[in-house]
């Protein structure tokens, strides 16, 4: 079941530098939500707070009412959060299949000792994950690459592998960090279709950080625009693109005045 994400007055400071200031918004279950803003706006830092890689200086982040602040990424993965990264974090010497299977590690029974010993119940679970991973790759048209080392594939395919790895965890909340970065026009179109299909078929909430406004417009139900760590506005992608404050944040006040 798709998760609800709520942020309330999230602040993040590194020394004397304020990275995020009083950021609040809600993401309704089953929606595709965009997080946009110019470079340095704090988008990835906010993602890192949601996923447990950073701990906010203050504020609350809840997933279906469960407080996420102070929880390790591994704990958040077990309660349904999965994410991709701006630069795909793949094991390049491992096969494509092995990389995707890694996404299901939180679903394996037992613990590190039983995994290392290869106990029967663990082995059965691993075989099940491999079968699911193969099915995902087949649906993505990547079955041909299952046994190939990841470093033999293109950047665009690396992005796809990371997405399918995240989905093997069966998340209720999926964070996508710049999934279109470095992709060709055709690859972006395929990504848009894939994300829509994933949301519809798997009943999942998706939050996307992205600069590609065409993708944001095509996918999102709502967006939040950040600027210098603060929430600038919230609304639809169309509303964001026509908002004078957003135009100024992206192109600068002088250019915005000239455009007007």
Return the exposure string of 95-116: e unless at least 16 CB atoms fall within 10 Å of the residue's CB, then b: bbbbbbbbbbebebeeeeebbe
Are the CB atoms for 53 and 59 separated by under 8 Å?
A: no
The CATH label, of 3.90.1150.10, 3.40.50.300, 1.10.3720.10, 3.40.920.10, for the domain at 1-80+173-260 is: 3.40.50.300
Q: What is the DSSP letter of 2?
A: P
At 207 the pLDDT is: 97
At 43 the pLDDT is: 94
HEC sequence for 185-215:
HHHHHHHHHHHHHHHHHHCCEEEEECCCHHH
Q: Which residues of the chain have pLDDT under 50?
A: 253-260
Q: Please tell me the number of Cα atoms within 13 Å of 93 on its side-chain side.
A: 0
Q: What is the DSSP letter of 3?
A: P
At 159 the pLDDT is: 86
At 255 the pLDDT is: 40
Between vectors from CA 128 to CA 122 and to CA 133, what angle results, nearest 5°? 125
At 124 the pLDDT is: 73
At 205 the pLDDT is: 96
At 109 the pLDDT is: 53
Rounded Cα distance between 46 and 78, Å, is 20
Partners of 78 in the β-ladder: none
pTM: 0.87
Rounded Cα distance between 169 and 75, Å, is 13
Question: Which own/partner contact pairs does 137-141 have at CB distance under 8 Å and 24+ positions apart?
Answer: 137/96, 137/97, 137/100, 137/164, 140/164, 140/194
Each residue's pLDDT tens digit, 107-150: 665 555 555 556 566 777 678 788 888 988 888 888 898 999 88
Indicate the domain borders of the chain.
1-80+173-260, 91-170
At 131 the pLDDT is: 86
């Amino acid at each position: 079941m798709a998760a609800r994400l709520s942020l309330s007055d999230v602040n993040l400071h590194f020394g004397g530098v304020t990275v995020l200031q009083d950021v609040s918004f809600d993401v309704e279950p089953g929606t595709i939500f965009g997080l946009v803003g110019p470079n340095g706006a704090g988008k990835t830092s906010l993602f890192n707070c949601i996923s447990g890689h950073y701990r906010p200086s203050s504020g609350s982040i809840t997933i279906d009412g469960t407080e996420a602040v102070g929880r390790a990424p591994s704990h958040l993965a077990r309660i349904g959060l999965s994410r991709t990264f701006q630069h795909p974090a793949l094991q390049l010497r491992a096969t494509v299949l092995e990389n995707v299977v890694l996404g299901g590690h939180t679903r394996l029974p037992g613990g590190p000792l039983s995994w290392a010993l290869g106990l029967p119940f663990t082995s059965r679970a691993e075989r099940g994950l491999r079968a699911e991973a193969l099915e995902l790759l087949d649906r993505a048209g990547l079955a041909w690459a299952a046994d190939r080392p990841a470093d033999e594939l293109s950047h665009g395919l690396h992005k796809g592998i990371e997405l399918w790895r995240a989905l093997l965890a069966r998340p209720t909340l999926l964070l996508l960090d710049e999934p279109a970065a470095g992709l060709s026009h055709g690859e972006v179109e395929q990504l848009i279709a894939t994300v829509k299909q994933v949301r519809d078929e798997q009943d999942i909430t998706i939050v996307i950080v992205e600069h590609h406004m065409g993708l944001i417009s095509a996918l999102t139900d709502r967006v939040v625009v950040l600027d210098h760590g603060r929430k600038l506005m919230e609304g639809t992608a169309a509303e964001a693109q026509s908002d004078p404050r957003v135009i100024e944040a992206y192109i600068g006040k002088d250019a915005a005045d000239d455009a007007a």
